[in-house]
Chains A and B, each alone.
Chain A
Amino acid sequence: MNNLRTLLEAKKSKNEKILSIYLTAGFPDPQTTLLLLKTLAEAGVDLIELGAPFSDPQADGPVIQDASQQALRAGMKIPALFPIIKEFRQVSDVPVILMGYANPFMKYGWQRTVDEAVAAGANGFIIPDLPPEESRDFREKCRKAELDLIFLVSPVTTVERIAAISKMTTGFIYAVSVAGVTGERQHLPDATTMFLHRLREQTSQPVLVGFGVSNSETAKNLARISDGVIIGSAIIRLISESKNTKESCEKVSDFVRKIKLGLGECA
């Protein structure tokens, strides 16, 4: 059985919240990415989104844009993702979702991407610019390979679309907290709360909330009205502010433990 589903069911039965962390693969370099993955697993992260860098990341704010550029300069590319996951699988079962824009996957070959993801031990995909309308072929490939394909829902997604996406997404629904690009926000608007309440009434799928989650307080507030949170830019910033790999790992580990502690209060 797919270990993403195992994880989500286990968490649900224990009424625990999920912490998912996004990392840009190859930032600051491919070797460090592997160490950071291990660090995340040791610090108790439930789920990892490993980002494939793209030159033109339309849905991302400056932090992830810069990380993507640096990762590309460090030589990161689609085929380099799989050895990292494979090696990570030697030490951890934490589910890994590949996240990236459509074009690099398309260029590498959709089927080839799926085959190598399975072989490496990845668990699924999130592709922000491949909405349900354009995903039919890829969805079928993922289904056959028993990989999850997670779709996003935004505060302006209509009721009809939420119903359709809820049927289509596997694993969970990625709820985008606010209209905008990825990046840390000190406060999220009241509308976010209303949106999440509305969303949960409309779906029985697990809901994880991302975009703008930057600290323990926000994470806790969001987790109370969802199944968990996704954090990206805040982690990337910690890594970019570190002087070396050791410091990166320490900072990331401390940050994750603090968020986990907070989420523990929401159970």
Chain B
Amino acid sequence: MNSNLIKKNAAFLPDKNGRFGDYGGRFVPEILMSAITELEQEYEKAKDDPEFHKLLSYLHAEYTGRPNPLTYVDRLTEETGGAKIYLKREDLNHTGAHKINNVLGQLLLARRMGKQRIIAETGAGQHGVATATVAAKFGLECQVYMGEVDIERQQLNVFRMEYLGAKVIAVKSGSRTLKDAINEAIRDWVTNVKNTFYCIGSVVGMHPYPMIVRDFQSIIGQETREQHLKKEGRLPDAVVACVGGGSNAMGMFYPFIEEKNVQLHGVEAGGRGPDVGDHAATLTYGEPGILHGMLTYMLQTEDGQVADVHSISAGLDYSGVGPEHSWLKDTGRANYTSVTDAQALEAMALLSCSEGIIPALESAHAVAYGLELAKTMRPDQSIVICLSGRGDKDMESVFALAEKGVIA
């Protein structure tokens, strides 16, 4: 994390009420108000503490393995026949995804606050694994909430979390996916608020989480910026990232928000198609509402109930989205689009066979759109696709689909 960047933008957004324009806020039960106020105060202190940044940088260098490369993919660029394509290699981080950037930061905060018990929600399991990993390293108790549906499709990550000493709780309520895991984590938090730190895995939830998670993830965009400058002597023409809750996208976008010549593209899960319940494309098809403590775009029924969502990737399977993305959408600063399950699978195969890089199903959404975008651009232009995670965790489900004949 670059402390100058965070300080420079501290006066920017969110405002003191945690709002990005109309979005964000603190729509939480009274019992959580003191906890989120305490967290905000501790974060403000940590932000101004050089020791905190020094420790985080040290851990990123020696534990996460940062900086990770900005890989130029020549074969894919050639096949696509358009702009040069770079991949930001978050898949090469320890634990295999961008999630650890945020977890290291949050658990350092937890340690400063003297909280011994960590809870987290997880969808694909990547955030759960990152939390279990860092909790093990810091000697903290860890409990992870995960929807039953996600447990089935991400077995490997469940084993990893348990092996690391975390307790994985199967969530059986509602749609039994990420949103329900968040509900259950919030219920735990209201019950154990005094000794428990809630480590949220994306730029979602009540203020100050969307801000904190964004700041910790902005190392993605910061490194990308420096690496691209070094390689090309200028900034990229576009950056592309997948959006579920939107943390890798927010981390990639944030250092470029004020660079008007850099296009920002967020790619949502188009699932099986545009009908309600068939996708998780919140910004594409949703409307503003209140969910999980924030005012943001969400997928809901005409009666204001939270709609069921679908995506082949457990990490994008969420009915809400980070409030800062809602703001970037309304202001027109970022473009949001979606790709289907089938397109994501196709892109996953293509990247694997042309470059020897197996992307996570989530990241494959960004790859699919990135390739389409690159085609429309000139060879002297360049784009960066955020490869937010690696695909090992998805091999089982991809093989199952192949056996069923869904994919080749």
Contacts and interface: CB of A to CB of B under 8 A. Distances in A.
Interface of A: 54-59, 61, 65, 72, 77-78, 101-108, 128-131, 133-134, 151-158, 161, 165, 176, 179-181
Contacts of B180: 56
List the 9 shortest-distance A-B pairs measured between CB atoms, nearest first: A107-B304, A104-B304, A154-B31, A180-B191, A55-B305, A77-B303, A152-B30, A103-B290, A102-B290
A258 B290 CA distance: 39
B31 A106 contact: no
Contacts of B27: 102, 129-131, 134
A54 B305 CA distance: 6
Contacts of A129: 27-29, 290, 293
A156 B193 CA distance: 9
B201 interface: no
Contacts of A54: 304-305
B286 to A, nearest CB: 12
B33 interface: yes
Contacts of A57: 183
B304 A106 contact: yes
B173 A153 contact: no
Q: Which of A55, A104, A158 has the most CB of B within 10 A?
A: A55
B304 A58 contact: no
A108 B304 CA distance: 7
Contacts of B325: none
B28 A131 contact: yes
10 contacts: A56-B291, A78-B303, A103-B298, A103-B306, A104-B305, A105-B304, A129-B29, A131-B27, A156-B35, A179-B193
Contact of B300 (A103, A154, A156, A161): A103
Interface of B: 17, 25-31, 33-35, 173-174, 179-180, 183, 186-187, 190-194, 289-293, 298, 300, 302-306
Contacts of B302: 107
Nearest to B27: A129
Contact of B29 (A77, A128, A155): A128
A102 B28 CA distance: 10
Contacts of A72: 305
B273 to A, nearest CB: 22
A145 B291 CA distance: 27
A54 B179 CA distance: 14
A138 B30 CA distance: 17
A161 B303 contact: no
Contacts of A77: 303
Nearest to A104: B304
A65 B31 CA distance: 19
A55 B303 CA distance: 10
A55 B29 contact: no
A61 B289 CA distance: 23
B194 A107 contact: no
Contacts, number: 110
Most chain A CB atoms below 10 A, which of B27, B179, B192 = B27
B303 A104 contact: yes
B306 A56 contact: yes
B192 A179 contact: yes
Nearest to B37: A158
Contacts of B293: 129
A180 B292 CA distance: 16
B144 to A, nearest CB: 18
A45 to B, nearest CB: 25
Given A107-B300, A107-B304, A154-B29, 8 more contacts: A56-B291, A58-B29, A104-B303, A105-B304, A131-B33, A156-B194, A181-B187, A181-B190
Give the residue among B26, B31, B35, B193 with the most A Cβ atoms within 10 A: B31
Question: Which of A57, A58, A106, A134 has most chain B Cβ within 10 Å?
Answer: A58
A130, A152, A179: most-surrounded residue (chain B CB, <10 A) = A179
Contacts of A61: 187
A106 B304 CA distance: 8
Contacts of B305: 54-55, 72, 103-104
Contacts of B289: 103, 106-107
A55 B174 contact: yes
A176 B300 CA distance: 29
B304 A103 contact: yes
Nearest to B320: A56
Contacts of A108: 303-304
A132 B387 CA distance: 41
A107 B179 contact: no
B179 A56 contact: yes
B76 to A, nearest CB: 40
Nearest to A107: B304
Given A58-B186, A179-B192, A157 B34 contact: yes
A107 B34 contact: no
Contacts of B290: 101-103, 106, 129
A124 to B, nearest CB: 17
B280 to A, nearest CB: 15
A95 B25 CA distance: 32
A211 to B, nearest CB: 9
Given A56-B174, A153-B30, A107 B183 contact: no
The CB with the most chain B CB atoms within 10 A, among A78, A131, A176, is that of A131
Given A77-B303, A157-B30, A157-B34, A58 B192 contact: no
A152 B183 CA distance: 20
Contact of B30 (A101, A151, A181): A151
Contacts of A152: 29-31
With most chain B CB atoms within 10 A of its CB, the pick from A107, A151, A153 is A107
A81 to B, nearest CB: 12
